[in-house]
Amino acid sequence: MSKSRRSVRFQHRDARRSSISDASDAASDPGSPTGNNAAVDRPATIPEEKPEQPLSEYEKKKQTFITRTIWTFVMIAGFFIAMFSGHIYIIGIVTAIQIISFKEVIAIANVPSKEKNIRFTKSLNWYFLATSMYFLYGESVIYYFKHILLVDRVLLPLATHHRFISFTLYVMGFVFFVASLQKGHYRFQFTQFAWTHMALYLIVVQAHFVMNNILEGMIWFFLPAALVITNDIFAYVCGITFGRTQLIQLSPKKTVEGFLGAWVCTIIFGYFMTNILMRYKYFICPVNDLGSNVLTGLECEPNPVFVPQEFTIPDWTGFGTSFYLAPMQLHILLFATFASLIAPFGGFFASGLKRTFKIKDFGESIPGHGGITDRMDCQFIMGFFAFMYYHSFIAVYKASVGDIIEAAITGLTVDEQFEVVRGLTKYLYNQGAVPESVLEVLSSELKRR
């Protein structure tokens, strides 16, 4: 019998075919040279390639670390470029993040719908996302730019009836959902409906408040985000260095020592970073021009929270003295505390969600990091807190041009609006701000009416 020639590879297909037929003939002839292992003339052979050895655990971790590091610097560079390019670019990044995060969370629940062949589930998810974004973004645009919208003939109806239009869009989606219910899948479809609304609240609604923070001033967006990142870094460093006691079962690697050590480090970082940022109007001024950037800058009267005030320590304490400090440097202590003690529970919530569905990451949007949601789980709740805290304790409420225009348009008749214009024009004329010709033209126009 002839030996098997599995290790032989021929240079081209014709040679391989001829060699196979020759070998079969030789095997049928007991006296053939092949049968006696004699040497025969054959085409040149190529040694068989050895199968690739699987990477060791060390090599896998090394590759992951390199990829993660590279993309970390890419994200940091992209973030700072966008931030200094202007507020509109940061708003674009936040919008992209909320859409991708919504997609990642919804994808977890969309797999069973494909298996059950349920129609319109994915389409309805995206419809409710679009409706929610239309409502929330519209609310922000109307609030911050009403002085532009309310004087435009085309945009005025959309601005004045925005909430009713949003409600109508939502009701249309609700009716379509009910009409698409399939017999035998009611429980599953209502579960999907609830899952979609949970994702809308936890991601889209909270991202909306992050966008409002940007419009209130870049510092209210950048500082909370930087505090969360700093806390995450120092929690890792302190945990490795001092960590002994497990903090929570959902994240076995989190330690009490790392948790508290990161709190102290975050407070120190927040204090000094605040002292730097509040020196620049580009960070502390609300947005009045979406085309502005770090080169053009912004102008405004600084919020009193950024103006140093005199604080006095009573004599009975034994440290009686006076010093100047901006109130923001005290507020940042609470910001840093929330970022250290409360915001991490957003990450714990995400960890519990992933364990429930037995997944490692929400997606693969960022190489080496997982999904966008894996990086933003603490940022959403921190941005929400920053918005609520700012409007509760820091914001200065006063009538704006947009507020006056809105009150005049919605609360006065056309004749009353003309009276307001005439009164303002007369006042400006008396102050020398407008020439007499303007007052005469306006008066003649009013007499025609």
Q: What is the pLDDT of residues 39-77, one digit of tens each?
A: 444 555 555 555 566 667 777 777 777 887 888 888 888
pLDDT of residue 426: 82
Q: Is residue 359 part of a domain?
A: no
Q: Per the domain annotation, does 101 fall within a domain?
A: no
Find the domain containing 440 and state its range: 401-445
79 part of a folded domain: no
Say if 435 falls within a structural domain: yes
Per-residue pLDDT reduced to its tens digit, 215-251: 999 999 999 999 999 999 899 889 888 888 888 888 8
Which residue ranges of the chain lie beneath pLDDT 50?
A: 1-41
- Does residue 299 lie within any of the structural domains? no
Q: What's the pLDDT score for residue 296? A: 87
pLDDT given at position 371: 79
What's the domain count of the chain? 1
Q: What's residue 223's pLDDT?
A: 95
Q: Does any domain span residue 425?
A: yes
Q: Is 424 within the bounds of a domain? A: yes
Cα separation, 430 vs 32, in Å, equals 123
The whole-number pLDDT of residue 162 equals 92
**417 in a structural domain:** yes
What's the predicted TM-score (pTM) here? 0.75
